[in-house]
Amino acid sequence: MAGFTERRGPLSTGNPVRRILKDLSNLGMAYDDMIIRNSRAVGFTENQMGYTFNPMGSDADDMYSAFAALSLTDTTLKKNISIFDKDYYGQATKGYTGRAKVGFTDRTGRKVGKGQKYNVAAMKNPAEFLGAYGARLTTDILSDGTRQFYWRYNHPLAIGQKIVEEAVPQLGDVKSPLQRALITGAVGAPTAASLGIFDVTNPGELFRPKGYAQAYAEKGSPDRRQTAEPGMELFDRFFLGRRGRPLKYETAKQDIPSLTPQRYASAMRSQYQDRGVLGMGLLKGTAENIEGYPEIRVVGFPVGLQAVGATAGGIAGLKTSAGKKLLTSKGPRSQRFKAAGITLAGALGGGAAGKTLNMAIASANRPKYLTTSDYMQG
């Protein structure tokens, strides 16, 4: 690692990088340090505990800040450092002005006090530009900057929650966490029930969705609709949001009498062979799933028209509540309960509309066979 261990300069004091690189081999085994410093991610907690902008990386343990400085990154402005940040190109080509969260000494020896403004110059040539992006990439990897976005938004419910928050910013005016959870739950519960991950009408089989096997069926069992581990089954279904794998055709048809070999084959191709957008399988869809409904899958999790309708209806209910000045901490609690009721009614109405549209599409896609009289006449 000769390129990172200069004899002089900001990384030279006690040659800390050499020791840090050695310590990386003890990741997960060195318990004598703060647990937070053994974390692989730098998020809100770490940011509050000192992972702030430090151009010199003066904290010998703070390898993250050293690379952040080299990548022309102000960590006081961002909680996650990603190479895909849309603002970064402008910072690199034009420079920017920041305010120091901690005191430091720059490369010229000038001292910058806490709270004092400082200027970061723009990159002057392609070498500096590529060097800054290289350090940015290293910072991203060390801090899990890009992966944190995936971890945060890798399920339709998480994406839906973000959409609701952006569409109805007045939710932030409800200060009570319990009351805010009650209101947002009026959208989340109908949406979750509409995703097809569980079937509320099938409690006898732990809410297994129609046409799909239990994840923990007995190995070698001819009927995978029964589970051998009820606790793990419920955990997978309601905590992890997993639907399970499709049943074989003969068993699935018992759950879905309208299922045809053609539809089953099409659903299996979409499930196992379709690579989706960019050929990565992260986002793909089908006009006809195993039940005959259109569906997209986000990282393998299903989203149908019923779930989209429930979310849209819930947002409409929230906007109605905001228009009535119900989304506020002022006034009696009954106002928030009324807002939750309006939101729930909107979500249920939107879900019902989406289900009706699903049934119409499934009916239109169903093959039309000749009646007996038409057949005999023909």
User: Tens digits of per-residue pLDDT, 145-201?
Assistant: 788 877 888 888 889 999 999 999 999 899 888 899 999 999 999 999 999 999 999
In the chain, the amino acid numbered 230 is P
User: Tens digits of per-residue pLDDT, 253-307?
Assistant: 999 999 999 999 999 999 888 888 888 888 898 989 999 999 999 888 999 999 9
**Per-residue CA distances from 14 to 6, 33, 149, 296, 362 (Å):** 11, 19, 35, 55, 70
Q: How far is CA 42 from the centre of its chain?
A: 17
Per-residue b or e along 16-48, where b marks 16 or more CB atoms closer than 10 Å to that residue's CB: bbeebeebeeeeeeeeeeeeeeeeeebbeebbe
Query: Cα separation of 139 and 208, whole Å?
Result: 43
Q: What values do phi and psi take at 374, rounded to 5?
A: -65, -40
Q: End-to-end CA distance of the chain, in Å?
A: 82
**Residue 327 belongs to some domain of the structure:** yes
The DSSP H or E segment spanning 230 is helix 230-234
User: What is the biggest distance separating any 2 CA atoms in the chain, rounded to whole angstroms?
Assistant: 98
Query: Cα separation of 165 and 338, whole Å?
Result: 19
Q: Are residues 145 and 161 in the same domain?
A: no
The DSSP H or E segment spanning 7 is none
Query: Cα separation of 100 and 115, whole Å?
Result: 5
Q: Are residues 144 and 161 in the same domain?
A: no
Q: Are residues 147 and 226 in the same domain?
A: no
Instruction: From 85, 98, 84, 38, select the one nearest 63 (Cα to Cα).
Output: 38
Q: Are residues 161 and 128 in the same domain?
A: no
Pick from 101, 124, 152: which residue ends a domain?
Answer: 152
Q: Are residues 219 and 342 in the same domain?
A: yes
**Residue 372 belongs to some domain of the structure:** no
Q: Are residues 201 and 248 in the same domain?
A: yes
What domain count does the chain have? 2
Q: Are residues 9 and 26 in the same domain?
A: yes
Instruction: From 70, 45, 38, 90, select the one nearest 140 (Cα to Cα).
Output: 70
Beta carbons within 8 Å of 263's beta carbon, 6+ residues apart? 288, 290, 292, 365
Q: Token pair 């029964």 is at which residue? A: 226
pLDDT for res 164: 93
Per-residue b or e along 300-332, where b marks 16 or more CB atoms closer than 10 Å to that residue's CB: ebbbbbbbbbbbbbbbbbbbebbeeebbeeeee
Q: Are residues 163 and 140 in the same domain?
A: no
Pick from 152, 174, 192: which residue ends a domain?
Answer: 152
**Residue 177 belongs to some domain of the structure:** yes
Query: Cα separation of 363 and 291, whole Å?
Result: 11
**Residue 375 belongs to some domain of the structure:** no
- Backbone φ/ψ region at 174: left (φ over 0), alpha (ψ -120 to 50), beta: beta
**Residue 370 belongs to some domain of the structure:** no
**Residue 217 belongs to some domain of the structure:** yes
Instruction: From 317, 329, 316, 319, select the one nearest 177 (Cα to Cα).
Output: 329
> Do 187 and 343 meet the contact criterion of CB atoms below 8 Å apart?
yes
> Do 264 and 254 meet the contact criterion of CB atoms below 8 Å apart?
no
pLDDT for res 375: 63
Q: Are residues 117 and 185 in the same domain?
A: no
pTM value is 0.65
**Residue 302 belongs to some domain of the structure:** yes
Q: Are residues 328 and 315 in the same domain?
A: yes
35: containing domain? 2-152
Pick from 152, 181, 197: which residue ends a domain?
Answer: 152
**Residue 236 belongs to some domain of the structure:** yes
Q: What values do phi and psi take at 228, rounded to 5?
A: -95, -15
Query: Cα separation of 106 and 90, whole Å?
Result: 22
pLDDT for res 137: 83
pLDDT for res 336: 92
Q: Are residues 239 and 275 in the same domain?
A: yes
Enter the tokens of residue 231.
């606790």
Q: What angle do CA 7, 9, 11 make, to 5 degrees?
A: 80
Q: Are residues 73 and 110 in the same domain?
A: yes
> Do 251 and 225 meet the contact criterion of CB atoms below 8 Å apart?
yes
Average pLDDT per 10 consecutive residues for the chain, totaling 378 residues: 43 52 43 34 35 39 48 48 74 75 72 80 78 80 79 86 92 90 93 92 94 90 90 92 92 93 92 86 89 90 94 96 91 91 96 93 73 67
Instruction: For residue 303, give the 3-state DSSP assignment.
Output: strand
Signed CA dihedral, 303, 309, 312, 317: sign only: negative
